[in-house]
Structure 1
């Protein structure tokens, strides 16, 4: 059994050496192909920094116009406090709705792997895995 394992290891080492000399080295983890992106979500590029996003001044008005009817029904005294760098509280995660494509197309795109959503007067760019908020825009202010 030990001899067989040694032979497998030797064969693997020789194959790796041959592939390396031909420029066929295995892909690094960052280069590995992943599953295709799901609807509305690209997979996070783990090679770079976590990401950066800035809403522009004109974005607030665009979002305010789109959500105008809903903003009138927001209970300002009892809505959550969303803050950059903090996770969306667990009880609100399922209530975040994606910002519609017809609105998103006029906004800067979120970094790879992030989503843009709306809840109770907030538009947030967040990580859909950890729910950490990258950027928040309170469109009621």
Structure 2
């Protein structure tokens, strides 16, 4: 049995290694969970760039869902005020999507971009306000613009 397992592992080739998200994004401020909490209490807009499936499992309460590969580019539209404080996050520090989203937001002219590198897992670990489910938060926010 051990030999078979060893052969399977050898045949699979090199192991898959998760790469970490960058520590910083030029033009954005990298924040930790306590700074994210302060910004949350201040009223900053939290943007979850994860997939719809991940969003449905849980997200920062009141966050809007703009997946990096489907919808995030809506922030490029001029109707969004460029001085709006944006906190961009995905699941954790091994997810590069929040860094990518932060780079885009800076390139689109946003002046208060906060890169929450530790992401939703850290938020959840600290038992901070969470939501679950569908697209209601995004629709409610979009209707207010």
TM-score w.r.t. the length of structure 2 is 0.26
Structure with the bigger RCO (C-alpha within 8 Å, sep 6+) is: 2
* Greater percentage in helix: 2
